[in-house]
């Protein structure tokens, strides 16, 4: 399956509408990106059941900033809408295949349980604002969320 060009307009619908989505954040001037491109394309042909997306960071500046991607290439993987892998740098074909296999066989019930436990622990560990009036800046109260705000 050919790769899908992702933009700010279709990013959320592609990630939310597919079980597994791999995303290559690349730049035309980036040497490692040009070396990774054929490896990524070969993987997309070996796994037509997965969605392989590409984000041109020069064309999608705002989306790149929202994703906090600042090194290229960066590979992200979403499973059931959750970010489960995020790594910058060139991956050889064997390493990319290992990542794909791990994502495909990931126990999502365990991931959701761990996420819920982490959110519950963070909420319980944060003091209420009324008991700490000197705290003017820092992490906002409430559970951590996966995904991209505003998309």
Residue 86: what are its φ and ψ, rounded to 5°?
-155, 110
Is 30 considered catalytic here?
A: yes
The SS3 assignment for 147 reads: coil
| Residue of 6, 15, 20, 33 with catalytic role | 33
Helix H or strand E encompassing 128 = none
83 in catalytic set: no
80, 147 contact by CB (below 8 A): no
Integer Cα distance of 106 and 139 in angstroms: 30
Task: Kindly name the residue from 20, 21, 23, 30 that is annotated as catalytic.
Answer: 30
For 85, the token pair is 């892998």
Strand partners, 101: none
The sheet carrying 51-56 orders its strands as 4-5, 51-56, 20-26, 74-79, 82-88
Neighbours of 29 (CB within 10 A): 10
Which residues carry out catalysis? 30, 33
């Amino acid at each position: 399956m050919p790769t899908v060009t992702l933009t700010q307009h279709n990013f959320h619908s592609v990630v939310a509408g597919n079980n597994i989505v791999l995303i290559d954040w690349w730049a035309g001037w980036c040497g490692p990106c040009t070396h990774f491109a054929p490896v990524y394309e070969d993987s997309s042909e070996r796994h037509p059941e997965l969605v392989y997306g590409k984000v041109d960071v020069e064309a999608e500046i705002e989306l790149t900033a929202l994703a906090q991607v600042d090194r290229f290439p960066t590979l992200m993987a979403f499973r059931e809408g959750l970010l489960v892998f995020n790594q910058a740098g060139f991956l050889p074909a064997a390493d990319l295949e290992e990542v794909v296999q791990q994502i495909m066989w990931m126990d999502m019930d365990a991931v959701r349980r761990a996420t819920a436990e982490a959110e519950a622990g963070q909420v319980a560990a944060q003091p209420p604002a009324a008991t700490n009036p000197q705290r003017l800046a820092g992490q906002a109260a409430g559970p951590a969320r996966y995904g991209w705000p505003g998309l």
